Structure 1
Amino acid sequence: MTDTAPTQETRPWLKSYPDGIDWDVKIDTTPVHEQFLASCAKMGEATALDFLGATTSFRDLGEAVNALAGALQTELGVKKGDRVALLMPNCPFYVVSYYALLRIGAIVVNCNPLYSLSELSHIVSNSGATVMITIDLKVTFDNAEKLVGQGHIKKLITAHFPDALPGLKKFLFKLVKGKDLAKPEKSNAARAIISYAELIAHNHAPEPVTIDPETDVAVQQYTGGTTGTPKGAMLSHANIAANLSQIDHWGCGLFYPPTKVAAVLPFFHIFAMTVCLNVPLCSGAQVVMLPRFEMKAFLSLLKRTRPNVLPAVPTLLHALATKPEATSEALSCIEVAISGGAGLPEETRQAFAKKSKALLAEGYGLTEASPVVACAALRVPSKPGSIGLPLPASDVRFLDLEDPEKSVKRGEKGELAVKGPQVMLGYFNNEEATREVFTSDGYLRTADVGYFDEDGYIFLVDRIKDLIICSGFNIYPRAIEDAIYKHPAVDETSVIGVKDEYRGEAPVAYIKLKEGESLDEKTMLGFLKDHLSKMEMPRQVIFRDELPKTMIGKLSKNDLRDDYKKHHGKGE
């Protein structure tokens, strides 16, 4: 493969670009913390954050970031290139810590608070992070304390969670939920613990740090990739800033005041870090947060704050589309919903459209691309079922599934590959994995299978790792899932491939039914005969009251594979 001049043949999406957006626009790679602090200076007393009713102005937020940045340098000796782990849900402490670390050239290592201790141990030991910032909720603090005990973490900065709440809620939380709080001062790790509030109060001015956006790492984001142990994707300051710039151009002003972005996806996930945090705050827009998604709390947030932009995952949109308490009136403030993190089932798209007048745009990205690669238009309707067009300055190709050094023709299925300013530097301390994920001419292989249509729109078929090879034929779980969703009794479904002595592999469908519905395997298979080929028919249909999900809300095929191995002994 060789790069060619931008023509509609090599870049078929060019002819379909929305009016007012240029693909070859200049991309701004000014580090995001510089953009954020400039936004704080410009917006002053305007509200930057709303957390359960507690508001923070841009001015106060900027001052807190500088104060923590100075304290990290002065009192903890954190310097440029040091890796610092963040272990907390969405809250103002995360926002301050994130920008403070970038401000001093330290590298953010995001950690999922719901990870097991062994997963957290791998991330902090692999990254070399010896400082961690967390909160004193037991669900988070207990593992942080154990990481100190294991010798991984030397300094544990701990914020007092009730300090993030408005006055009455702060009092009630201590009164009603005080048992959920840890007691850091009585911890076995007490000698390593430093008070977040005290660090801020010292009000140290940060020393200037020279950053090369192209080469200096800003965030080391851990991802499982296609297989194996989580790897640290090194995202430079330029990578993250470039994706911010790309989304800004694509949004045509969507993320500027008076916009309010609902941040219910966790900031420690790359999708939310970029779209719910960096994009709005660097543009001066308000972020309204929840520590996690709960329907009652989310509907209360909508009613109280009236956000107009909702980044979401399909399972969240599915819940809003199907739960009776999420009424059309409750959702009326949402003007644009952006779906990412997993494929959006057509049934969910249609159900959401019946309840909400919001423009629903499906996007696509991956950790290694900071993350957004492509998205449907955010101002005008796009092709249903498509993830849209490549973002400005993003080049996309589809590679032969047998030989990734060859491209396939338009319309043929292949592995999506991307090259652009948002693509990572590589995996931390893993040159072999880095070589494997890039083609010889620098395209990042995504392990997602899809194709271009005649207008240059991208359609995804499935993940390569989820592909089922059945009697030598490629079977795509998503096609089976789309067929299952056509049955009116189905609430959620996920299809996996399992070993089959005759065919090599065979599909198995897991299904959660809607409340009050009943269905058996024979009836479901009979229904699918009109929608699937014989090769695609599931070997087995398994009904569950709930299907496992990741922290961000994606249905988890890995957990289902483990479930099948445990209960049926014929897993992959």
Structure 2
Amino acid sequence: MSMRSPYPDVEIPEVSLTEFLFADGFGDRADAPAFLDGTTGDQLTFTEFHGLVEKIAGGLAARGIGKGDVVALFAPNLPQWAALFHGILRANATVTSANSMYTGGELAHQLTDSGATTLITVSPFLDRALAGATEAGLSADAVLTIDKAEGHDSLADLVSSGAPAPELTTTADDTAVLPYSSGTTGLAKGVILTHRNLVANLLQVHVMGSVTDQTKIMAFLPFFHIYGMTVMMNQGLHTRATVVTMPKFDLEQFLSITQKYAVDRLYIAPPVAVALAKHPIVDSYDLSCVKTIFSGAAPLDGELGRAVAKRLNCTVLQGYGMTELSPVSHCMPDDRGDLDLNSSGFALPNIECKLVDPESGKEVGVGERGELWVKGPNVMVGYLNNSDATDATKDADGYLHTGDIAVVDDEGVYSIVDRVKELIKYKGYQVPPAELEALLLTHDKIADTAVIGVKDAEGEEVPKAFVVKQASGADLTEDDVMAFVAEKVAPHKKVRVVEFIEQIPKSASGKILRKDLRARETEQA
């Protein structure tokens, strides 16, 4: 049984994201701040921001970058990140957004797989950026910096070319961005999101919320992640709201910036909700400006959400999405604070859903558990250069198989109750077990391994490695295993629990039986 959103469809114009956001000008918001750096107070008005976008596009075009080219952004949240993102699109090129915590090796994989020819970063990231660029076959000249760095062209150099922005030839069907996601399983893959996908999701999200040109949006969640990119950065531009940026999360600084700039809309992940509900320092700040807190990237416990709402006297909402969905498919509307906070709310306009029993393949109805399938204009085109992964995730009818088990009630409210897919979500960040397993198997004292997500003492899902030692590995310790991984991956991917085991359970075809490992965890609990 398929179910359409209870909200009327919205019209999706056949335009690029660039046209959608900038073609009509800014009206009385022209001199209002579009982006404000919360740590420095520096700001770009809408007019200044658009002017910078045009100059960046001209500078990129002068370097020979245009349609079909991919430019990688590897930097923390800054107003300039947003300007570069839109400058790249204005130059008719494509952005691939890289996780700012990536190691050089992880970055190299994305640069190579995406076909990026230019990398833009910041000087503190240069060591990793150059290591990744070198491994991917890019020259040092292909690495630019936002700030000044010896031996590299900077953003100032890029915009000082004086070259005009090229003719905008981008269409709604062109690829806008290639964020990387593990999807339902496996290594990180480039998600092909078109201009239409991004425009559609902005219009879908707009129906559900009450963001206006007077809203101030907090953006510490990274712009490289599709949640920050669509829901914070681009939603701010769409509604002419002010986006207040933070390059990284620091609780005291976050609270101070929220108070100082009277930020009224916070987008968070569940770990921040824990701090807002429990940390004593919260009481040292006047957060009466906060009207709405929206949690995403990972499931928010309803009791925790209610504790935050009570402490801050605000509305707490939750949504659901995936990179492959641009990213939002379900959320609680601003005017439905009465909904169960353990739910993910309604399907957005233009979306059709099915719940399918993963064992039988049969559709299930209201109140029954099934894998959530989603169809709509925000669903990705597919995975870059990976038709097998695309076919395994998106069917011939256009439904994206999310890998999450959900139930829906009579009103059309969805709740995520389990997960089919193997992906671990640590503090909202994706951790693909297959990537950690491949890395662990390079250790000369490890014979076999499997990685699953387990709950730590705070209820956070963390990667746990089951390890079979080589005959020569008798002296291998848990700390040795964790240190080996930590040296080679971003912090959120670290293995945080290790258990040595005699044999990894596998099927006849050699597939790791993670359900058996999870059952082992339950028995030991």
Please say if 1:564 is aligned against 2:498: yes
- Quick one: which of 252, 270, 276 aligns to 1:296? 252
Report the secondary structure of 1:417's partner residue: strand
Please say if 1:159 is aligned against 2:146: yes
Q: Give the structure 1 partner of residue 186 of structure 2.
A: 228
Q: Residue 10 and residue 229 in structure 1: after superposition, are their counterparts in 2 closer, same or farther (change >3 A)? A: closer
Q: Give the structure 1 partner of residue 86 of structure 2.
A: 99
Report the secondary structure of 1:120's partner residue: helix
For residues 113 and 288 of structure 2, what CA distance do their matches in structure 1 show?
Answer: 45
1:284 CA drift (Å): 1.0
1:353 CA drift (Å): 2.1
Describe the superposition over 1:289-318 as per-residue Cα deviations: whole angstroms up to 9, x where unpaired.
Answer: 100110111111012101111111111111
Q: Give the structure 2 partner of residue 313 of structure 1.
A: 269
1:255 CA drift (Å): 2.0
User: Counterparts in 2 of 1:63-212, with a 5 A limit?
Assistant: 63-74=51-62, 76-137=63-124, 140-154=125-139, 155-160=142-147, 184-185=149-150, 190=151, 193-212=152-171
For residues 452 and 55 of structure 2, what CA distance do their matches in structure 1 show?
Answer: 57
Q: Give the structure 2 partner of residue 529 of structure 1.
A: none
Please say if 1:390 is aligned against 2:347: yes
Give the counterpart letter for 2:498 in structure 1.
Y
Q: Is the 8 A contact 2:182 2:189 kept in 1?
A: yes
Q: Give the structure 1 partner of residue 35 of structure 2.
A: 49
- Quick one: which of 12, 16, 22 aligns to 1:27? 12
User: Counterparts in 2 of 1:146-545, with a 5 A limit?
Assistant: 146-154=131-139, 155-160=142-147, 184-185=149-150, 190=151, 193-213=152-172, 215-251=173-209, 254-327=210-283, 330-381=286-337, 382-404=339-361, 406-465=362-421, 509-512=455-458
Q: Give the structure 1 partner of residue 523 of structure 2.
A: none
1:119 CA drift (Å): 1.2
Report the secondary structure of 1:325's partner residue: helix
Q: Is the 8 A contact 1:222 1:232 kept in 2?
A: yes
Report the secondary structure of 1:218's partner residue: strand
Report the secondary structure of 2:47's partner residue: helix
Unaligned runs of 5+ in 2: 426-432, 434-450, 461-485, 505-513, 518-525
Give the counterpart letter for 1:32 in structure 2.
L
When normalised by structure 1's length, the TM-score is 0.74
For residues 5 and 349 of structure 2, what CA distance do their matches in structure 1 show?
Answer: 11
The number of equivalent residue pairs is 451
Q: Residue 60 and residue 506 in structure 1: after superposition, are their counterparts in 2 closer, same or farther (change >3 A)? A: closer
Q: Is the 8 A contact 1:448 1:462 kept in 2?
A: yes
1:35 CA drift (Å): 3.0
For residues 246 and 394 of structure 2, what CA distance do their matches in structure 1 show?
Answer: 37
For residues 261 and 281 of structure 2, what CA distance do their matches in structure 1 show?
Answer: 18
Alpha-carbon RMSD across the aligned residues, in angstroms, is 3.0
Q: Residue 79 and residue 446 in structure 1: after superposition, are their counterparts in 2 closer, same or farther (change >3 A)? A: same
Unaligned runs of 5+ in 1: 1-8, 15-21, 162-183, 468-476, 479-495, 497-504, 515-549
1:457 CA drift (Å): 0.7
Report the secondary structure of 1:415's partner residue: strand
Describe the superposition over 1:385-436 as per-residue Cα deviations: whole angstroms up to 9, x where unpaired.
Answer: 11000000011111121244x3112211111010000001111111111111
Q: Is the 8 A contact 1:452 1:459 kept in 2?
A: yes
Q: Give the structure 2 partner of residue 499 of structure 1.
A: none
Q: Residue 567 and residue 400 in structure 1: after superposition, are their counterparts in 2 closer, same or farther (change >3 A)? A: closer
For residues 85 and 203 of structure 1, what CA distance do their matches in structure 2 show?
Answer: 23
Give the counterpart letter for 2:181 in structure 1.
T
1:566 CA drift (Å): 6.1
1:80 CA drift (Å): 0.6
Give the counterpart letter for 1:511 in structure 2.
A
Q: Residue 124 and residue 10 in structure 1: after superposition, are their counterparts in 2 closer, same or farther (change >3 A)? A: closer
1:362 CA drift (Å): 0.5
Q: Is the 8 A contact 1:71 1:202 kept in 2?
A: yes
For residues 401 and 151 of structure 1, what CA distance do their matches in structure 2 show?
Answer: 39
